[in-house]
């Protein structure tokens, strides 16, 4: 049976065009999904306007419901992770932690943070008297979730919205129909007012329709920069608040004192985790000229030694990307890179166009002309470039229309920090694959997005502010 979603506590059952989806892993049939006529859902969505959750009132009840969701996810993490592996190719050795356990930890962290968040505060007024500041739920929120880490990002958006007191509708990718069908069962069991959490599966047509709907006073979108621009324009037309977490082309700067053996495992994950299908993947790696031969060889061997194959095997490091079409886009960019002078250090160009698997590729570029240096590929491909000075490396890292993440790799943390402070990007990690922390604001500069998720900044993005001037 086709899956549509969960709205106002009921499984949706509407006629529409049914779509089949094949797994990129083995070509087997995944659960179909139905693209309903978007306007059919409007009367139900409009009912969400009447749902008033309040920011502080019943916060404990919403927190308890979220903690139960976390427990459900933790209990079934292996099953849910396997479904995601079959949908987007994430190797099973990574999928339990990256796809599910990270969501469990996220929920628990945000619940704890919300218990300490000041929804109301008083301060002395600059003109005498007192000032009371109330932070109130903005209203119904829409969360649009991509296919690469569907459960984690769905939990990020729904948890933040609920804790702020906002009913939420999630619109995941149709690439994740099996995992979202299972996920919706957990949502249906949450002890919350009817309509507090909803999920509607659909494609671009549905997403566009929902973003235009004035029921949604806040839109949180994660996806490509091109799609994010369209979302921002639609939200601007009706003065809806919007948070955009978009693409990236992040740089890993290896300083000349780096101990490659010590950081190798973390660096590999930073570059190739989830088959490179990570918005903050470190797809540029900058190495010092003084150690270029050694590090070039070490990086090439790291790519060559990666086990490529069936993501259901625990030995596999890189599996297929989400679709054969996505794989061919990556291949085409790689072929064009070779025509533009990029040197292939590791990987092969001989692959079936029907396969969704792209073996890891490492290129060396001499300048910033090649598209492979400038554009997000969302696959297991990275570019190497040799710098002469750290200032040059920083300049190249900042030479991008994106600014989502970055990383510094060094044996001297203090030295790494000084370099990190020069990067024009939302997050910088030192000797770590991490691109975010649950308690810290996460988002991008430039075309990597606007607004922030996580931490206090994340809660505030779902709250309106009212100031009361007291005598």
Q: Which two tokens stand for residue 279?
A: 């918005």
> 5-246+448-470 in CATH: which number?
3.40.605.10
* Mean predicted lDDT score pLDDT of the chain: 95
Look up tokens 């259901």; give the residue: 312
**Active site amino acids:** 245, 279
The phi-psi region of residue 239 (left if phi > 0; otherwise alpha if psi is between -120 and 50; otherwise beta) is left
Please check the confidence at residue 219 and state whether its pLDDT lies above 90.
yes
Look up tokens 């009913």; give the residue: 167
User: Per residue, what are the HEC states of 35-54?
Assistant: EECHHHHHHHHHHHHHCCCC
pLDDT band at 389 (very low <50, low <70, confident <90, very high): very high
| Residue range 59-115, pLDDT digits in tens | 999 999 999 999 999 999 999 999 999 999 999 999 999 999 999 999 999 999 999
| Residue range 406-452, pLDDT digits in tens | 999 999 999 999 999 999 999 999 999 999 999 999 999 999 999 99
Q: Calculate the alpha carbon distances from 180 to 4, 98, 159, 427, 453 in Å.
A: 10, 16, 16, 29, 22
Cβ count within 10 A of residue 206: 22
In the chain, CATH 3.40.605.10 sits at: 5-246+448-470
Which of 439, 333, 427 has its CA nearest to residue 379? 333
For 287, half-sphere exposure in the C-beta direction (CA atoms, 13 angstrom radius) is 24
Q: Calculate the alpha carbon distances from 41 to 162, 199, 202, 206 in Å.
A: 22, 12, 12, 10
pLDDT for the residue 16: 84
Instruction: Give residues with Cβ within 8 angstroms of 77, minimum separation 6.
Output: 96, 100, 101, 104
Cβ count within 10 A of residue 318: 24
- Contacts for 117-124 with beta carbons within 8 Å, 24 or more apart? 117/163, 117/456, 117/459, 119/55, 119/56, 119/463, 120/56
pLDDT band at 54 (very low <50, low <70, confident <90, very high): confident
Average pLDDT over every residue of 197-206: 94
Alpha-carbon span 15 to 142, nearest angstrom: 23
| Residue range 331-386, pLDDT digits in tens | 999 999 988 889 999 987 556 667 899 999 999 999 877 889 999 999 999 999 99
H helices then E strands: how many in the chain?
A: 16, 22
Which of 360, 366, 385 has its CA nearest to residue 284? 385
349 near 238, Cβ under 8 Å?
A: no
Burial tier of 132 (Cβ tally within 10 Å: 0-12, 13-18, 19+): middle
333-335-336-342 Cα dihedral, nearest 10 degrees: 100
In the chain, CATH 3.40.309.10 sits at: 251-430
pLDDT band at 52 (very low <50, low <70, confident <90, very high): confident
Instruction: Give residues with Cβ within 8 angstroms of 52, minimum separation 6.
Output: none
Q: Which residue has the higher pLDDT, 39 or 243?
A: 243
Q: Which two tokens stand for residue 313?
A: 């095997």
pLDDT for the residue 1: 60
Alpha-carbon span 205 to 210, nearest angstrom: 9
| Residue range 152-200, pLDDT digits in tens | 999 999 999 999 999 999 999 999 999 999 999 999 999 999 999 999 9
| Residue range 112-135, pLDDT digits in tens | 999 999 999 999 999 999 999 999
| Residue range 239-277, pLDDT digits in tens | 999 999 999 999 999 999 999 999 999 999 999 999 999
Q: Calculate the alpha carbon distances from 200 to 42, 82, 173, 184 in Å.
A: 12, 22, 9, 10
- DSSP-derived secondary structure for 220-281: EEES-HHHHHHHHHHHHHTT-EEEEE-----EEEE-TT--HHHHHHHHHHHHHGGGG--TT-
Domain 251-430 has CATH 3.40.309.10: yes
Q: Which residue has the higher pLDDT, 14 or 132?
A: 132
pLDDT for the residue 57: 73
């Amino acid at each position: 049976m086709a899956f549509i979603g969960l709205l106002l506590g009921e499984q949706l059952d509407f006629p529409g065009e049914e779509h089949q989806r094949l797994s990129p892993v083995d070509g087997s049939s995944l659960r179909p999904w139905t693209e309903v006529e978007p306007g059919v859902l409007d009367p139900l969505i409009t009912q969400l306007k009447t749902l008033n959750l309040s920011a502080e009132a019943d916060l404990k009840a919403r927190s308890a419901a979220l903690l139960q969701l976390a427990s459900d996810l933790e209990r079934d993490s292996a099953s849910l992770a396997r479904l995601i592996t079959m949908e987007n190719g994430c190797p099973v050795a990574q999928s339990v932690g990256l796809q599910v356990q990270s969501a469990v930890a996220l929920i628990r962290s945000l619940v704890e943070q919300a218990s300490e968040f000041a929804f109301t505060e008083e301060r002395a007024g600059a003109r005498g008297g007192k000032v009371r500041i109330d932070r109130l739920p903005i209203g119904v929120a829409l969360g649009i979730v991509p296919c690469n880490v569907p459960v984690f990002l769905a939990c990020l958006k729904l948890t933040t919205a609920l804790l702020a007191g906002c009913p939420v509708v999630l619109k995941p990718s149709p690439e994740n129909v099996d995992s979202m069908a299972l996920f919706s069962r957990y949502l249906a069991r949450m002890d919350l007012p009817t309509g507090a959490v909803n999920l509607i599966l659909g494609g671009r047509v549905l997403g566009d329709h929902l973003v235009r709907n004035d029921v949604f006073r806040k839109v949180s979108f994660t996806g490509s920069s091109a799609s994010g621009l369209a979302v921002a324009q639609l939200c601007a037309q009706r003065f809806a608040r919007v948070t955009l977490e978009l693409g990236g082309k992040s740089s890993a700067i290896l300083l000349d004192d780096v101990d490659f053996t010590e950081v190798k495992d973390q660096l590999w994950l930073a570059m190739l985790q989830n088959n490179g299908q990570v918005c903050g993947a470190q797809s540029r790696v900058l190495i010092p000229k003084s150690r270029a031969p050694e590090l070039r060889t070490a990086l090439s061997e790291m790519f060559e030694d990666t086990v490529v194959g069936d993501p259901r095997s625990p030995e596999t490091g890189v599996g297929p990307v989400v679709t054969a079409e996505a794989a061919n886009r990556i291949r085409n960019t790689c072929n064009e890179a070779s025509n533009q002078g990029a040197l292939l250090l590791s990987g092969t160009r001989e692959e079936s166009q029907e396969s969704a698997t792209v073996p890891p590729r490492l290129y060396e570029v001499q300048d910033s002309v090649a598209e492979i240096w400038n554009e997000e590929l969302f696959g297991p491909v990275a570019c190497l470039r040799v710098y002469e000075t750290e200032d040059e490396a920083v300049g190249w890292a900042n030479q991008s229309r994106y600014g989502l993440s970055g990383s510094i790799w060094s044996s001297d943390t203090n030295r790494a920090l000084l370099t990190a402070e020069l990067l024009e990007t939302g997050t910088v990690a030192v000797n770590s694959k991490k691109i975010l922390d649950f308690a810290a604001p996460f988002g991008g500069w430039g075309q990597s997005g606007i607004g922030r998720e996580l931490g206090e900044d994340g809660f505030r993005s779902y709250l309106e502010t009212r100031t009361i001037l007291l005598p």
